[in-house]
Structure 1
């Protein structure tokens, strides 16, 4: 299988520079990184891709068995790295992709040399001694609504997830991205995402890690950022002066500055 075609792989930036892989979150695609790429392109070789089922990926490669767990998405990451013969990359993952990066680093440690987690959450459902931001009933209702009327759910939820109500164009962009995703495949990805529990996987991380959280985020509250930071030895936590769950779109300058500062320290 042509992995580059399957995952709609794009390579840009400095061909001689260290490699940065940018991974999108649920309901999104690689275009969500368009405000980050220019900040990296001069010094880094930038690799973008779409998970199977998202964006310009080969939808015929989607199987529910594979993508019903985060390990299926992590395999996409590893296979993209293998196809491009990439080693020691900096993996930048937004939202659920932060946990996908953790799993990919465990699968192929020679491929992933550092992690940048943008608005990560290892578990969305509250648990004893842990606040993920949602009750089990909240998530059940969310998934039921999504599965019964995906387009309606997208129109209602995307602006809430994006935040920044004073900038409605951001919510509209995320809505359009959600609506462009195949509903059946989105349902699988959503269930995989919102029912996941990667808390124990955080303890396995052995690479330099930057955790980026927002001041206010309805999907990943600050308690989650603190939990991730504490669970990964030696990680760095940065609280961005940003609201919403997509700071790479709503506050690109601050997000890019944090990412490039962290990467520069690794060089």
Structure 2
């Protein structure tokens, strides 16, 4: 695939200080697009070159590139990320991934470690299903119910899920913002993407990661319980776990100053 096609497929944006030797890649989670970083990125525009992109299938421009067969696992999204880095000649970047993109970054780092110098995982999970001696937060029956609701009435599911995932009940505009992003997804792609995410298991990759990793965890996260952040911290040998003063699955939207501050301290540390 040509550089132009890669840039178009993932709606890649380059912002900030074009001449900086420091590059930060911001990667969004399920149900959002790169606009989810709008409250965080202003803190980095002056000193860093910023790369933002949309996961394939997450926005209308990328629907033509989406294939149910290709994107049935997160590995395909990781290959997209690797292709973006190659197209832009990126190496040793700081990678900040929210939710599913946290694991996409882990996969890419396991394949081509030189692409990233440090990793920031926000509300990320290596496995959503509970297992023996592992709390992921969901039973298979829970996930099957989610898939059924997405398929039967996507509008109702999206509105209910956006409220539960965003929380911050005293700030309804945040829920509306996420609901609008979620409802902009094509329902069939939303369903297949949800399956690829929730049925994934990348626990085996964690011990292989040698990068410095910052794990940011919020409270009352419907998708990622506190036990998952603790597990990541135990399995990623060079990791730091910080619980941010926020609730819900989107602290980079609801508590952007604190998240931006934590990222800044992490990437500026020697």
Same fold per superposition (TM over 0.5) = yes
Within a 5 Å distance, the mapping from 1:44-83 to structure 2 comes to 44-83=48-87
Gaps of 5+ in 1: none
Q: What CA RMSD, in Å, does the superposition of the two structures yield over aligned residues? A: 1.1
Tell me how far apart the structure 1 counterparts of residues 86 and 71 of structure 2 sit (CA, whole Å). 19
Give the C-alpha shift of residue 56 in structure 1. 5.0
The answer on 1:190 being equivalent to 2:194 is: yes
- TM-score (normalised: structure 2): 0.96
Q: Which stretch shows the higher mean deviation, 230-239 or 130-139?
A: 130-139
2-side partners of 1:77 and 1:57: how far apart? 17
Q: Residues 212-256 of structure 1, C-alpha deviation per residue, up to 9 Å, x if partnerless?
A: 001321211111100001000020111101100000011011111
Residue 222 of structure 1, aligned match among 221, 226, 235: 226
What is the deviation of 1:94? 0.2
- Check conservation: 1:89, 1:112, Cα contact below 8 A: yes
Give yes or no for the alignment of 1:6 onto 2:9: yes
After TM superposition, list the pairs within 5 Å mapping 1:159-174 onto structure 2.
159-174=163-178
Q: Deviations over 1:178-222 (max 9, x none)?
A: 100111111111000111111111111111100000132121111
Measure the CA separation in 2 of the matches of 1:43 and 1:215. 31
**Partner-residue secondary structure (3-state), 1:110:** helix
The more displaced of 49-58 and 19-28 is 49-58
Q: How far apart are the structure 2 equivalents of 1:260 and 1:147?
A: 40
Correspondences of 1:201-240 after superposition (within 5 Å): 201-240=205-244
Measure the CA separation in 1 of the matches of 2:211 and 2:176: 36
Distance 2:116 2:152 in 1: 38
Q: 1:57: Cα distance to partner? A: 3.6
Q: 2:184 aligns with which of 180, 185, 188?
A: 180
Aligned twin of 2:141: 137
Alignment check: 8 A CA contact 1:50 1:57 kept: no
Q: TM-score scaled to structure 1, two decimals?
A: 0.97
d(CA) in 2 for partners of 1:205, 1:48: 23
CA distance in 1, matches of 2:175, 2:83: 32
Alpha-carbon distance in 2 for matches of 1:86, 1:128: 39
Q: List runs of 5+ in structure 2 lacking aligned partners.
A: none
CA drift of 1:62 comes to 0.8
| Residues 148-163 of structure 1 mapped to structure 2, 5 A cutoff | 148-163=152-167
Equivalent residue pairs, number: 266
1:81-133 C-alpha deviation (Å, 9 max, x unpaired): 11111011111000111011000111222212211000111111111111111
